[in-house]
Structure 1
Amino acid sequence: MIAKILIKRCFKPGKTKQILALLNDLRAHAMRQPGYISGETLVQNASPHCMVIIGTWQSIEDWYCWRDSNERNKYEAMIELYQERPTEYEELLLGTPLTSKDIGEKS
């Protein structure tokens, strides 16, 4: 099932060139991973130092493999140096139907 991963980052002012280089390298490496479909980077209009990256993967397992890889974690450590706060993640599955069990209803 297709997975959409929302990655929220806010950066400290300055060092834009270094930040963009790291993000571009990270995206280039992600694109070579099994299951990677696409990525989008959205910048907040009111706070241009904050962004949301939407990654699309063939499965949540493909994302987990990349998320937990040494290669990705190396980039994450470098990116964190420029961030105002820790990265936030949200993992979503495309078209997953809710069942009463999923939302805690009694049968």
Structure 2
Amino acid sequence: MLAKILIERQFKSGNEKEILSLLNQLRSLAMNQPGYISGLTMRVPDEPENMMVIGTWQTLDSWYSWKENMERKNLEAMLDIYQERPTEYREYVVGSGLLT
């Protein structure tokens, strides 16, 4: 079942160049992972340090495989340096049969 993953990050002010570089590296790696469909990065207009990524994956299992990928974990650790708080993840599935 199709999965939508919401990834919320709150960065400290400054270091935008480094942050965007790391986010671009994450996106580039994700695009080559089995099950990856798309990703969308958004910012709050009045609070540009608040960002949300909406990732679309073929299945939750494909997302979980990527989430546990060592290259991804290394980039996430580098992003943690610039964050106010830990990254928050919300995982959703799309489709019928959600409520039985």
TM-score, normalized by length of structure 1?
A: 0.90
Residues paired across the two proteins, number = 99
Partner of 2:32: 32
Partner of 2:99: 98
Runs of 4+ in structure 1 off by over 2 angstroms are none
Greater C-alpha radius of gyration: 1
Identity of aligned residues (%): 56
Opposite residue 72 of structure 2, the aligned amino acid is R
Partner of residue 83, structure 1: 83
For residues 30 and 84 of structure 1, the distance between their equivalents in structure 2, rounded to whole angstroms, comes to: 24
SS at match of 1:49: strand
Question: Shift of residue 45 of structure 1?
Answer: 1.9
What pairs up with 1:40-59 in 2 under 5 angstroms? 40-59=40-59
Which protein is richer in strand relative to its size?
A: 2
Query: Tell me, which stretches of 5 or more residues in structure 2 are unaligned?
Result: none
TM-score (norm 2): 0.96
Q: What value does the CA root-mean-square deviation take over the aligned residues?
A: 0.8
